[in-house]
């Protein structure tokens, strides 16, 4: 029912007392390796909730690629669309300092080789999907091809992360465009004339999307469609680690929309999923089941 097209990365995490300067070496903690990448995270989050989910992505023919395939399969994701080879698996080199701040270097690797032709070759996945969810950790031309490949009546959800100016063809297809505060500001660029997220939502909507969602961390989210902007209440939780909360939110929203929920109801559910995800450490490891969301 849900097709996620996007990135799959191995997250390589080392804790450090402080970051090295140029030419300097510092010692860190033992290496931790986690499956990540926005596409892989979204697919796992949706499947964990019980959504029938497929992932279209590209990994390398290497150990990290196998780690990512294993984590998708363990969550119940259909991996027939996960292509192997062409470049090493994408990697994020992450250092975390004692205050919890991250510094990250991403090597897109195989994600950068997910090509428009790979999208065209996956037509059967598109025909089986009510909702297709994408991010920008794969080439923009591939995202454009996703828009052109949507089956009649199916819905396109985009989280433009990392944010780039988007062509009109992509903006017009979004239903919704999902942005956090940082992404909203980059996509708006010179049109970001206000500090109010309500205004961002309205101005983004005027750029073409059929609907817009602005996520506001602990403050919840805003949904906008037609002339209306409404607030999605946040859920009060003790936040432990917000990594991957946006991906869980987007996956939950896309899945609920595919089951026929209204945008407001789907976003309210997604906010609960996002809140549950911040109560546990990690990205994929923090994602709740539907029963855990109901218990929140
Ligand atoms: P991103 O991870 O992309 O920056 P946000 O931080 O806006 O996105 O988080 C996405 C969603 O996850 C929010 O809209 C909210 O529903 C939920 N969320 C995130 N942080 C918290 C928090 N501290 N408490 C409750 N919910 C949260």
**In the chain, what are the domain boundaries?**
2-18+27-295
Q: 109's torsion region: left (phi>0), alpha (psi -120 to 50) or beta?
A: left
Nearest atom in ligand 1 to 182's CA:
4
Interhelix angle 263-278/38-49, nearest 10 degrees = 100
Token code pair at residue 146: 């996703």
Residue of minimum CA distance from atom 26 in ligand 1: 275
Q: 119's torsion region: left (phi>0), alpha (psi -120 to 50) or beta?
A: alpha
Residue of minimum CA distance from atom 24 in ligand 1: 218
Q: Tell me which residues of the chain have a pLDDT lower than 70.
A: none
Q: Where is 177: in which H helix or E strand?
A: strand 174-179
Alpha carbon of 174 to ligand 1 centroid (Å): 21
CA–CA dist 59, 81 (Å, integer) = 11
Residue whose structure tokens are 């998708």 = 72
Give the residue, out of 183, 185, 274, with the most ligand 1 atoms within 8 A of its beta carbon, to mutate for a pocket test: 274
pLDDT of residue 250: 98
Residue of minimum CA distance from atom 5 in ligand 1: 217
Q: How far apart are the first and last CA of the chain?
A: 25
Token code pair at residue 131: 């909702």
Alpha carbon of 255 to ligand 1 centroid (Å): 18
Closest residue by Cα to residue 46 from 213, 225, 293: 293
Contact of 39 with 55, CB cutoff 8 Å: yes
pLDDT of residue 40: 98
Contact of 73 with 47, CB cutoff 8 Å: no
Contact of 247 with 288, CB cutoff 8 Å: no
pLDDT of residue 70: 98
Interacting residues of 245 by C-beta distance below 8 A, sequence separation 6+: 217, 274, 277, 278
Interacting residues of 184 by C-beta distance below 8 A, sequence separation 6+: 192, 197, 200, 204, 214
Catalytic residue among 101, 190, 247, 294: 247
CA–CA dist 250, 259 (Å, integer) = 14
- Residues in contact with ligand 1 by the CB-under-6-Å rule are 180, 215-218, 220-221, 234-235, 237, 239, 242, 245-246, 249, 271, 274-275, 278
Alpha-helical (H) ranges within the chain are 38-49, 63-75, 116-120, 123-127, 140-149, 168-173, 181-188, 197-206, 245-258, 263-278, 290-295
Please state the CATH superfamily assignment of the domain spanning residues 2-18+27-295 in this structure.
Ribokinase (3.40.1190.20)
Residue of minimum CA distance from atom 19 in ligand 1: 217
Residue of minimum CA distance from atom 10 in ligand 1: 246
Q: What are phi and psi of 11, to 5 degrees?
A: -90, 115
Contact of 233 with 268, CB cutoff 8 Å: yes
Alpha carbon of 242 to ligand 1 centroid (Å): 7
pLDDT of residue 189: 87
pLDDT of residue 282: 86
pLDDT of residue 227: 82
Instruction: Note whether ipTM > 0.85 here.
Output: yes
pLDDT of residue 33: 96
Q: Is 247 a catalytic residue?
A: yes
Q: Is the dihedral of CA 289, 237, 282, 261 positive or negative?
A: positive
CA–CA dist 44, 285 (Å, integer) = 9
Interacting residues of 230 by C-beta distance below 8 A, sequence separation 6+: 222, 223, 224, 264
CA–CA dist 182, 216 (Å, integer) = 10
pLDDT of residue 240: 87
Give the residue, out of 231, 240, 245, 278, with the most ligand 1 atoms within 8 A of its beta carbon, to mutate for a pocket test: 245
The reported pTM is 0.95
């Amino acid at each position: 029912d849900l097709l996620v097209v996007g990135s799959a990365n191995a997250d390589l995490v080392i804790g450090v007392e402080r970051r090295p300067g140029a030419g300097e070496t510092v010692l860190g903690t033992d290496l931790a390796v986690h499956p990540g990448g926005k596409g892989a995270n979204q697919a796992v989050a949706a499947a964990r909730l019980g959504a029938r989910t497929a992932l279209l992505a590209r990994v390398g023919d290497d150990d990290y690629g196998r780690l990512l395939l294993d984590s998708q399969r363990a969550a119940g994701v259909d991996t027939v669309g996960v292509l192997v080879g062409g470049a090493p698996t994408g990697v994020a080199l992450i250092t975390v300092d004692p205050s919890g701040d991250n510094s990250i270097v991403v090597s897109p690797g195989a994600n950068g080789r997910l090509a428009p032709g790979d999208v065209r070759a996956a037509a059967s996945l598109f025909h089986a999907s009510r909702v297709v969810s994408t991010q920008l950790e794969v080439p923009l031309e591939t995202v454009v091809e996703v828009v052109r490949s949507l089956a009649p009546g199916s819905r396109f959800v985009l989280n433009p992360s990392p944010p780039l100016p988007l062509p009109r063809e992509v903006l017009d297809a979004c239903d919704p465009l999902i942005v956090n505060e940082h992404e909203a500001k980059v996509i708006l660029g010179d049109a970001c004339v206000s500090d109010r997220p309500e205004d961002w939502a309205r101005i983004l909507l005027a750029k073409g999307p059929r609907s817009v969602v602005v996520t506001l961390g602990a403050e919840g989210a805003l949904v906008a469609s037609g002339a209306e902007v409404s607030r999605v209440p946040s859920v009060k939780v003790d936040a432990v680690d917000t990594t991957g909360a946006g991906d869980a939110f987007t996956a939950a929203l896309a899945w609920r929309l595919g089951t026929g929920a209204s945008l407001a109801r789907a976003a309210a559910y997604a906010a609960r999923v996002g809140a549950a995800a911040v109560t546990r450490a990690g990205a994929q490891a923090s994602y709740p089941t539907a029963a855990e969301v109901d218990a929140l």
